[in-house]
Chains A and B, each alone.
Chain A
Amino acid sequence: MGGGCREPAVRVGCDGASGGELVMVVVAKPLTRRLIIAWTACVVAFLYIPIVCVFLVSFHKARYFSFPFSDFTLDWYGKAFSSLQTQELMLVSLKVAGVVTAISVVLALFGALAFARFNWRGRKLFQRLLLLPIFFPQAVLGLALLIWLTFLGVLPSWQSAVFAHLVWIAPIVTLVVSIQVYGYDAAQEEAAFDLGATRLQVLREVTLPALAPGLVSGALFAFLLSWGNFPLSFFTTGADSTVPEWLYTRMVAGYTPLVPTMGALIVIGATIMLVLGYALIVLRRRRANSHG
């Protein structure tokens, strides 16, 4: 079965020309493909049902939600932006996500070089150790960190939440950057060394530009994961509170119509970041292609 059979126009010819089981495979393929497409659409719908619900309810005027409703309003968005409390929440969330992104990208750059670039004794062990925090129930990690911080006498605040997020996010970003490092030709570095560049120059002029796309997607991951994180923040922020945390406490007790509104704002924030990041990556790739 050749690659050409995948084009609809050619497929007819293939069906007629081939015999036996080969025809079966070729004929079955469009059906399988349609089924896969339909199933994927179902999965996407499944993923978006609750998000759509949150948006829907955020436009609902009445204090208590009941579907279907007809009185739409944007009032709750106005309230969300004018309330000092929600401004403070968003500020804390942004602050945590920003600092986590900055630190984890630096850690991940070196971590990824150790993970994928250098051959060193202890690397396999390092790779496994790095995966452990990712393969770890976050709520339990959050609680263990809470006990640890209390034991060390650190008063939990947004800074300790940054630390908690880093334990989980820095390894993930390291993996993301590692994928880029694997595709990177280390001979370039050696060439630069041979031409007399110092280690710092090589890092700045050769390694960093080559790894930039990986670092951008790593930063995107770091920001988004921190922005949306709940289990780690819940146990480690102390008196400060991030948006996801506030939402949870309000969902459990003391519901206000601002809950769906703030939920919708979280979604909007994540979407903007993701689209911007994706656009940046696509633009870079286009520019690189047009140059090369």
Chain B
Amino acid sequence: MIARLLIRPAFAWLRQPGLHAAVPILILLAIGFIGPLVLVAIFSFMPPRSFTLDGAPTIENYQTVVEQSFYLSLLRSFAFAAGTVVVLALVCYPVALGLAKLFGRYAGLLTLILVLPLFVSENVRLFGWVLFLLKGGGVLAGAAKAVFGLELADMLYSNTATLMGLCYVYLPFMLFPMVLGLSMVQRDVVEAASDLGASRWQIMREIELPLAMPGLVIGGLLTFVLSLGALTESKVLGGSKVIMIAADIESAFTFGQNWPLGSALSMLLLVLAGGLVLLVLRKLDLDAILKRR
């Protein structure tokens, strides 16, 4: 009797067409996303330098992270990610406002222009920055010397260059959710506020920002998480001076041949980033955001 009570809802649940439609992609995510993550989680508790799961579980790898100051690169990555979000929020807001409200029929073409760099491999674009900023023969230094006779200081391989690279690569990830958010603000509401005597600043603070919040939050979150785990930017533009957490993870997995250490570092990054994502996503109504475009 009890069994029947439990089984019938389970069958009903399994017969939902929505679930059937979700199955193919769920299988993909199970073997391509959840599987690898579970494996990494288990490996993080294996003895250092093991390549099998036979060893006795240990927290040695996490101790290594603290003792050998790996957490410093984690902190550095957090600082870079936070900096990227702040800079991009300020840079993108006016552009997003323009795309959502001002540019009208040019918005489509402009979106195309803004989106194109996203589809060019990020290392090609970062390489372009190297060519631009290179000391001596770079485009900027060369032009400054030829035109103004100026000798420019080396700008590559520094924290600033890395931050700029991060802002550069993740700009679209901030911009487009922001546009989505700002297009949720209806013109009538803004006009009503302005008719009632609100200043431009008040309109932004009291109306645009709160109504556009879901888009802003998604943009900020996406930018934060992606730049937290960024690898190429620091390698190409930061050189050997700027080590971010992803670089530590990579060298542990590859040159270091220490899967458990790499796994422990990944887990720290993933738990922090994933926790943040899930926390924020819980508050958002995805249906409303995607529907009201």
Contacts and interface: CB of A to CB of B under 8 A. Distances in A.
Contact of A129 (B24, B29, B39, B197): B29
B250 A116 contact: no
B176 to A, nearest CB: 11
Contacts of A139: 229-232, 246, 249-250
Contact of A35 (B35, B94, B143): B94
Contact of A171 (B25, B94, B127): B25
Interface string A139-153: 111011111100100
A12 interface: no
A122 B19 contact: yes
B32 A145 contact: yes
B197 A21 contact: yes
A64 B136 CA distance: 12
A139 B199 CA distance: 45
Contacts of A108: 25
A20 to B, nearest CB: 8
A116 B287 contact: yes
Question: By CB atoms of chain A within 10 A, which of B18, B102, B277 has the most?
Answer: B18
Nearest to A120: B18
A56 B269 CA distance: 39
Interface stretch (B59-67, B117-125, B155-163): B117-125
Interface in B10-53: 13, 16-19, 21-26, 28-29, 32-33, 35-37, 39-40, 43
Contacts of B232: 139, 230-231, 248
B138 interface: yes
Interface in B101-127: 102, 110, 112-127
Contacts of A130: 25, 29
Interface in A213-256: 224-225, 227-231, 243-244, 247-248, 251-252
Nearest to A48: B117
B168 A47 contact: yes
Contacts of B231: 137, 139, 231
Interface string A271-289: 1011000100000000000
A80 interface: no
Contacts of A260: 127, 131
B153 interface: no
A37 B99 CA distance: 10
Contact of A135 (B136, B138, B222, B266): B222
A229 B232 CA distance: 12
Nearest to A33: B102
Contact of A51 (B114, B128, B235): B128
A51 B126 CA distance: 9
B128 A151 contact: no
Contacts of A166: 28, 32
Given A53-B128, A111-B25, A270-B119, A135 B32 contact: no
Question: By CB atoms of chain A within 10 A, which of B17, B281, B286, B293 has the most?
Answer: B286
Interface in A85-126: 106-108, 110-111, 113-123, 126
Interface string A20-49: 111011001000110111011001101111
Given A66-B137, A140-B249, A243-B121, A36 B102 contact: yes
B226 interface: yes
B124 A263 contact: yes
Nearest to A125: B22
Given A50-B125, A128-B281, A139-B231, A147 B21 contact: no
B98 interface: yes
Contacts of B253: 143, 146-147
A266 B94 CA distance: 30
A72 B135 CA distance: 22
Interface residues of A, number: 106
Contact of B281 (A131, A244, A273): A131
- Interface of A: prevailing SS: helix
B36 A244 contact: no
A272 to B, nearest CB: 11
Contacts of B102: 33, 36-37
Interface in B173-202: 191, 194-195, 197, 199-200
Question: By CB atoms of chain B within 10 A, which of A20, A145, A227 has the most?
Answer: A145
B117 A227 contact: no
B168 A135 contact: no
A224 B39 contact: no
B166 interface: no
Contact of A67 (B21, B130, B142): B142
B284 to A, nearest CB: 9
Interface of B: 13, 16-19, 21-26, 28-29, 32-33, 35-37, 39-40, 43, 91-92, 94-95, 97-98, 102, 110, 112-132, 134, 136-139, 141-143, 146, 168, 171, 191, 194-195, 197, 199-200, 221-222, 225-226, 228-232, 235-236, 246, 249-250, 253, 259, 262-263, 266, 269-270, 273-274, 277-278, 281-282, 286-287, 290-291, 293
Across the A-B interface, give the 10 residue pairs with the lowest CB-CB distance, nearest first. A137-B229, A50-B128, A120-B18, A118-B18, A67-B142, A66-B137, A114-B22, A244-B121, A224-B119, A167-B32
5 contacts: A25-B199, A35-B94, A47-B114, A108-B25, A120-B16
